[in-house]
Amino acid sequence: MLIMLRIKKEMKVAVGDATAQIVTFQVGQEEFGLNIDVITEALRPLKITPLPHMPRFIEGVINLRGMIIPVVDLRKRFGLANIQNDPRKMRMIITRGAVHGGAGAAQGLLGLVVDTVREVLHVPAREIGPAPEAATSGQAGFIAGVAKVADRLVIILDIGKVLSGEERTALTEAGHVHP
């Protein structure tokens, strides 16, 4: 059964301020965010069909209303320790723009397994800084910036860089995503 989440909106700012709407979620002890424009929905995890010869963090694919969508476990992608997941809190976020979709079934969609989805924040653009230099190269090139929200920091992800070019190619060759 597919259950949609209603994500609450908080942190409103004064009219006239340029703001970004950031959907926040937790992976391990850290809070991450994605621009709301790249998210199509958040739902309880669906049954994942494993794919052979994929990187460890690519869990496989799901069938969401007839669309075949690859799924990445962000805990594994970020190299965090595996824990016993609480299925009541665990969520899957479906995003667009992560893979270069086209005529294929997935149409550029990617599923992300996260520990919990938290909220939608309206963050003033002036409160979003660039990613620290150490976090923009190598394996962490998917970090787009850091948002300062009250007394916490939210790591903003660039969904287009969660998968490397090589990983997108592996999915394409597996026949599930078209470049």
- Determine how many CB atoms are found less than 10 A away from the CB of residue 175: 11
Q: What is the pTM of this model?
A: 0.79
What is the pLDDT at residue 162? 86
**Per-residue pLDDT tens digits for 5-47:** 333 333 333 445 689 999 999 998 899 999 999 999 999 989 9
Give residue 69's identity as a one-letter amino acid code: I
Residue closest to 147 by CA, chosen among 20, 18, 14: 20
What is the pLDDT at residue 81? 76
Residues of the chain below pLDDT 50: 1-15, 101-105, 176-179
Phi-psi region of 7 (alpha: psi -120 to 50; beta: other; left: phi over 0): beta
